[in-house]
Structure 1
Amino acid sequence: MEDIRVVVAIDFGTTNSGFAFAHKERPEESETNSTWPGNKGIFKTPTALQYDSKYNKVTAWGVKALVEFQEDAESSDDDDNNQLSRPIELFKLHLFNLKDEDKPWLPPELDYKKAIKDYLTEIRKLIQERLSSRWSSVKFPSQVKIILTIPAEWVLRFFFFFFDFVNHKFGIYSLSYFINQPPHTTGIMRECAYKAGLLNKLSSNNLEFTTEPEAAALHCLSVVKEHNLKSGDSFCVVDCGGGTVDITIRKLLAKNGLGEITERIGYPCGSTFVDKEFLKFIGEKVGMHALSNFKKNHYKQIQYLVQRFFCHRIKFDFNGKQSEWKTIKLNLLNYCSNLQEYVTGDRKTEMENAGWIIKIDFTSVKEMFDPVVNKILELISEQLNASKEKCSAMFLVGGFAESAYLLNKVKETFRFQVKDICVPTLPITAVVKGGLYYGLNINTVKTRVLKWTFGIEVARKWISGKDKKKRRSPDDLIYTFECLAKRGSQVDVNKPFSKIFFPVRADQKAVAFKIYYTPSVDGKFCDEPGMEYIKTLHIDIPDVNLGRD
């Protein structure tokens, strides 16, 4: 029997991660961790790793894996030209359906699943240390419930309902029970969490997933009263992180319950993509090829340029008001001392004549932000248009939510559609606090909207004149997709979906249910584009005397 004493929520982010915890007996005394190796007083630490020469052992993680001081950035050529000095970052993005050329850099020796496992291992060590200092009698991990927040795009929330012929009883099995292999991201994360020591066994019930927008929405329940929201009102939550933006529209239900009324969406367009636009701007001055080679061989200096110059002097303060902007002069050699070795031709002459100084004006900065901000505005508009109910409020959370420019653009664009648009206190902690709330109040979420259509492959007799000849099997059958749960449906949490099926042949000794999911709402065949195979559920039929009955 489950004996959970403590709940821990982990926000494993693309660029930064954090965790929060609380004892079930005193949930009001929850704590969000703010002490990390190499840094104190911050609620998140970089999702970054440093390895030894063979990529077997982690030598540093979090902020210690990144450059913090200028003398580190200007280390010796022997060290800086060595790829081993480059930290492993953004590896979470390998779980998204990105083209190979769009996936972040990883050395050939390192698999992204190992990086995830290693990072979770370091987080687990710190969690154990924190919990043991608070409650020494709590056994880890057997008495600890782990809540892992994940992007909206990762979740396959679906339950398979069938009759157990052997034990003569019905059962409900979550597909997460069957999914343990790629490409299913929740399965990968469960496996990594197990290998990291967060679970005693792979199938442990001590791990629960909730989406980042759902966690953010749960956190917003703590502020809805401040905005005069009442039961029946709907509100939009825009979670703007470093790597992804997740958006959902929720309904406030009776007794502080939470429902979902639109299909949640997520997209990789977080604040790190503004950093990429800044580097693109630099590349246009010195040459993209030169910048690419420099980044490859002197990654620490590039990192220092982005973090210490762009983020601290421009990105964090930019509000989009031209009257308040003063052109900033960037002396490239102060941040990237080796860059001049890679710039050639006319670009080099131009940069030498300018003393390697680049002037950054208002228009240039706005053009760095706009591609990312405009995509976020597009996603918000899509969600608002998908909702049949008027939104009473919109909450921006996540690290990028603190961007004054983003908030101003959202208010300007949607001021006639949403009356109250705001950023709650400490928006960077919204997801992890919401994840903790979910773990402590697991029945708060009442409804969800399915993001996928789920079903199985079934066989029936091929019908001449109705079915295509190419789909006729040698035994005169046709195999089709049978929908069990349709995308866009608003359903109660953990609702089972059931249908009655019969064996194809009277002497059949087993049934194989091939389970698929698709973004389409009207899939017909399992080989259609977008149709994804999940797993096959095998069921024995012990009594063939019953025939097709």
Structure 2
Amino acid sequence: MGDSFVIAIDFGTAFSGYAFNITPREEKSEPHLQRWGKEYGFDSPKTPTCILFNEDETFLSFGYEAKITYKEMSREEAKKHYLFEDFKMALYSKKLNSDLKIKAANGKSMKALKVFSESLRFLKEEALRTISRNTGGERLFIASDFIWVLTVPAIWDPSAKQFMREAATQAGIITEGDEEKLVIALEPEAASIWCKKLPSEGFISEKHNAESLDQSAGTKYIVVDCGGNVSVTLMK
């Protein structure tokens, strides 16, 4: 493919989001980061990692919509539904298989693979819809047009990473035969690569203390964890 088409999904413990790049390879890359929650009065680069299913285990919504919809339900309705929040680390230190179940907010259980795959399916389809809108509908993009990047914690063992691959396959992100289009990226390594892209001017070493930083009004500090090495960037 002549163009560099990439969709990166940051599937976080508390919040998730995605970014994409559809810039031709010969041009300067201009990644797009999706914003979330404007219909609810928010404007954030991520949405809560929260997914809602009905009593038949059918997907209903994800993110802010799932959280708010569940909150507004009556007690009886909430008992029938499945709301999963902050469920990503359910894979940590678990014996993973297709029968593994995780508990919803009301104590009911569902297969973890379905919870994860439906979450990824939502993010996939939302990304493709956003790209279609941003390109004026000139081309119908499908999942196989892209290289997909999915972040995972470095502390996860190989079985958890394989579990995420299976979830991505069930979500339709990749299909049999094009598995190479899914890149599993370790979160600290992704942060480290991002740090290397930032300008060297304005960085302060981790050895500086608060007194040595400019505390003048209007100064903001962005802290980036680069695989254990903390860098602080000054933003005026």
| Match of residue 189 from structure 2 | 214
Partners of 1:10 and 1:222 in 2: CA distance: 19
Contact 2:203 2:233 in 1 (8 A): no
**Deviations 1:188-244, CA, capped at 9 Å, x for gaps:** 111111111111326521111111111111222233512468xxxxxx9527xxxxx
Cα displacement (A) at 1:76: 3.9
Structure 1 Cα separation of the partners of residues 176 and 156 of structure 2: 22
**1:127 corresponds to:** 127
Q: Is 1:118 equivalent to 2:123 in the alignment?
A: no
**Map of 1:321 onto structure 2:** none
Q: Decide whether aligned partners of structure 1 residues 423 and 51 sit closer, same or farther in structure 2, where only a CA change above 3 A counts.
A: farther
Name 2:66's counterpart in structure 1: 65
Residue identity opposite 2:50 in structure 1 = A
Aligned to 1:496: none
C-alpha contact (below 8 Å) 1:144/1:206 kept by paired residues? yes
TM superposition shift of 1:44? 0.3
Residues 61-210 of structure 1 mapped to structure 2, 5 A cutoff:
61-67=62-68, 73=71, 76-79=74-77, 82-85=78-81, 87-97=83-93, 105-106=103-104, 108-135=108-135, 136-137=138-139, 139-154=141-156, 156=158, 184-201=159-176, 203-210=178-185
Q: When the two structures are aligned, how many residues end up with a matched partner?
A: 205
Deviation at 1:6, TM superposition (A): 0.9
Please give the residue correspondences for 1:17-416 in structure 2 after superposition, counting only pairs within 5 Å.
17-25=16-24, 26-35=27-36, 38-39=39-40, 41-55=43-57, 57-67=58-68, 73=71, 76-79=74-77, 82-85=78-81, 87-97=83-93, 105-106=103-104, 108-135=108-135, 136-137=138-139, 139-154=141-156, 156=158, 184-201=159-176, 203-227=178-202, 238=225, 247-249=227-229, 394-395=230-231
SS at match of 2:6: strand
SS at match of 2:7: strand
User: Shift of residue 129 of structure 1?
Assistant: 0.4
Q: C-alpha distance in 2, partners of 1:104/1:96?
A: 12
Instruction: Answer yes or no: is the 8 Å Cα contact 1:190–1:202 preserved in 2.
Output: no
Displacement of 1:78: 3.0
1:145: how far off?
Answer: 0.6
TM-score (normalised: structure 1): 0.34
Rate the CA distance shift 1:110–1:38 in 2: closer, same or farther, 3 A: farther
1:370-420 CA-to-partner distances (Å, cap 9, x unmatched) read xxxxxxxxxxxxxxxxxxxxxxxx22xxxxxxxxxxxxxxxxxxxxxxxxx
- Identify the structure with the greater helix proportion: 1
Q: Residue 108 of structure 1: CA displacement?
A: 5.0
- TM-score w.r.t. structure 2 length? 0.73
| C-alpha contact 1:154 1:186 (8 A) present in aligned 2 | yes
2:144 partner SS: coil
Q: Are the structure 2 counterparts of residues 4 and 115 from structure 1 closer, same or farther at C-alpha, using a change threshold of 3 Å?
A: farther
Q: Residues 112 and 37 of structure 1: is their aligned pair in 2 closer, same or farther, counting only changes over 3 Å?
A: farther
How far has the Cα of 1:53 moved from its partner? 0.8
RMSD: 3.1
**Residues 5, 134 of structure 1: CA spacing in aligned structure 2 closer, same or farther, 3 A cutoff?**
farther
- C-alpha distance in structure 1 between counterparts of 2:12 and 2:171, whole Å: 17
**Long gaps (5+) in structure 1:** 157-183, 230-235, 240-246, 250-393, 396-421, 426-549
Cα offsets for 1:263-314 (capped at 9, x unmatched): xxxxxxxxxxxxxxxxxxxxxxxxxxxxxxxxxxxxxxxxxxxxxxxxxxxx
Q: Structure 2 CA distance, aligned partners of 1:209 and 1:86? A: 28
Q: Could you say what secondary structure the match of 2:174 adopts?
A: coil
Counterparts of 1:104 and 1:111, CA distance in 2: 6
Question: Who is 1:362 aligned against?
Answer: none
Q: 1:226 to 1:88 in 2, by over 3 A?
A: same
Q: Could you tell me whether the CA contact under 8 Å between 1:146 and 1:198 is conserved in 2?
A: yes
CA contact (8 A) 1:155 1:211 kept: no
Instruction: Give the drift of 1:93.
Output: 1.3
The structure-2 alpha-carbon separation of the partners of 1:10 and 1:63, relative to structure 1 and needing over 3 Å to count, comes to same
Instruction: Indicate if the aligned counterparts of 1:223 and 1:424 stay in contact, CA closer than 8 A.
Output: no
CA distance in 2, matches of 1:197, 1:66: 24
Contact kept, 8 Å, 1:18 with 1:44, in 2: the verdict is yes
- 1:107-153 Cα offsets, whole Å, 9 max, x none, are 55511111000011111111110122234436422220101111011
Identity of aligned residues (%): 24
SS at match of 1:149: strand
